[in-house]
Amino acid sequence: MRGLIWTVAGISALLIIVLFILLGYLLIQRTIESRRNKRVKQYKAQFVEHWLLYLLEGVDPPEGGLPQKREAYVAIDDVFYHYCFSISDHLPRKRVRWFVENYMVDFYKKKLLSSRWDERLNALHRITDLQLQMFVDDVRSMLRREDKVYTEAEYVQMYVIMAKFDVYDSYAYLQNPQVSLNVFHYTTILNEAAPRIFNKVITHFNTSPLQLKLAIIDVIGLKKQVTYIDVLETNLQSDDEEIRIRSLKAIDQIGFVKEASIYAAFAQSDRWPERLMAARIFLHIPNDWVIDALFDLLRDPSWWVRKRAAETLSQKHGGTSLLQDVINQDTDPYAIDQARAILARQVETGT
């Protein structure tokens, strides 16, 4: 018993001592950090105008405004980041690159090669946000390293950099990623990819992994890329339901229908999401048969389909009176309900 007590007491005492040492460390670290932050702040206040004038008008900053100490790098990095966040002009962005190239390459490279995961990810984000193309080769060699495995977030960001800066072989990484990527990851990458890379990825559509296929379809819709509408229409014949539905969704987002007749079948589909998408797409089809199809969808077993059909009808030319007819003459209580709901909403918003 005695022995046990002494052991527990010893452990407790040891832990408390360790924790107090940690407390001391944190307090000291905090003091150092707050001093450093203060210096960064002072430095920033002193030179921010010079840096902005350099970025906006190309006026060279004074000697003191060039980075020499760590605080200076941190301050400039922050100013450049916020600047790039607000300004999209080509020339000022280029000046950011020139400045980094001349003075700050080591600062970012050190972060990029850091053993800390968070620092590396920060650096990758900065390279993307400040469009620092000069680091592309570093990123590429990171990707080629066989002795090191990065985290999923890092791989995604490295692929973003490759695709964004138009590195020719980046599509290959998307086809065979080093970690398994889901639709969200692919969408993030494709959303920032250079047009040439995007095009390249699309030409290899059929051999792509499913998740990439889905992402391609999503991004075509997101960016309203009318030029790729053929890809979407081809995919409507796919055996995969998910691919069909996403393609329909993308076509609706683009809002342009080339061949109206292929959509009629989807209104008859036995999957309600397909009928729902059909009800949406009918908005973009001017033909008369669409009205009849929408009236049928107004009696659909799914609430979502009925709702969407009523909405589409109301946005059609003369739609309000069509819905009024439904309320007056129809026998289907669901259809009447939906028509009422949509008309009530229209009164509400005054449209």
Which residues of this protein are in contact with other proteins, per CB under 8 A?
1-2, 4-5, 8-9, 11-12, 15-16, 19, 22-23, 26-27, 30-31, 34, 44, 48-49, 52-53, 56-57, 78-79, 81-89, 92, 116-119, 121-122, 125-126, 129, 182-185, 187-188, 191, 218, 222, 303, 337, 340-341, 344-345, 348
Contact 232, 206 (CB under 8 A): no
The smaller minimum CB distance to other proteins, of residues 191 and 315, is found at 191
Residue 56 CB, shortest distance to other proteins, in Å, is 6
CA 340 to chain centre: 38
The smaller minimum CB distance to other proteins, of residues 117 and 256, is found at 117
The smaller minimum CB distance to other proteins, of residues 195 and 286, is found at 195
The smaller minimum CB distance to other proteins, of residues 34 and 237, is found at 34
The C-alpha R_g of the chain, in whole angstroms, comes to 29
Residue 129 CB, shortest distance to other proteins, in Å, is 7
Contact 22, 30 (CB under 8 A): no
Residue 252 CB, shortest distance to other proteins, in Å, is 15
Residue 268 CB, shortest distance to other proteins, in Å, is 25
Reported for 103-110, long-range contacts at CB under 8 A and 24+ positions apart, including other chains, are: 103/66, 103/67, 104/67, 104/73, 104/76, 104/77, 105/134, 107/67, 107/73, 107/77, 108/132, 108/135, 109/135, 109/138
Return d(Cα 113, Cα 107) in angstroms, integer.
10
Residue 153 CB, shortest distance to other proteins, in Å, is 10
Structure tokens at 133: 């193309």
The smaller minimum CB distance to other proteins, of residues 65 and 293, is found at 65
- Longest CA pairwise span in the chain (Å): 93
The smaller minimum CB distance to other proteins, of residues 116 and 145, is found at 116
User: What contacts 84, CB < 8 A, 6 or more positions away?
Assistant: 93, 96, 129, 130, 131
Return d(Cα 217, Cα 180) in angstroms, integer.
19
Return d(Cα 327, Cα 283) in angstroms, integer.
21
Half-sphere exposure of 169 (CA within 13 A, CB side): 8
Residue 264 CB, shortest distance to other proteins, in Å, is 28
Return d(Cα 231, Cα 217) in angstroms, integer.
8
Residue 6 CB, shortest distance to other proteins, in Å, is 10
The smaller minimum CB distance to other proteins, of residues 92 and 133, is found at 92
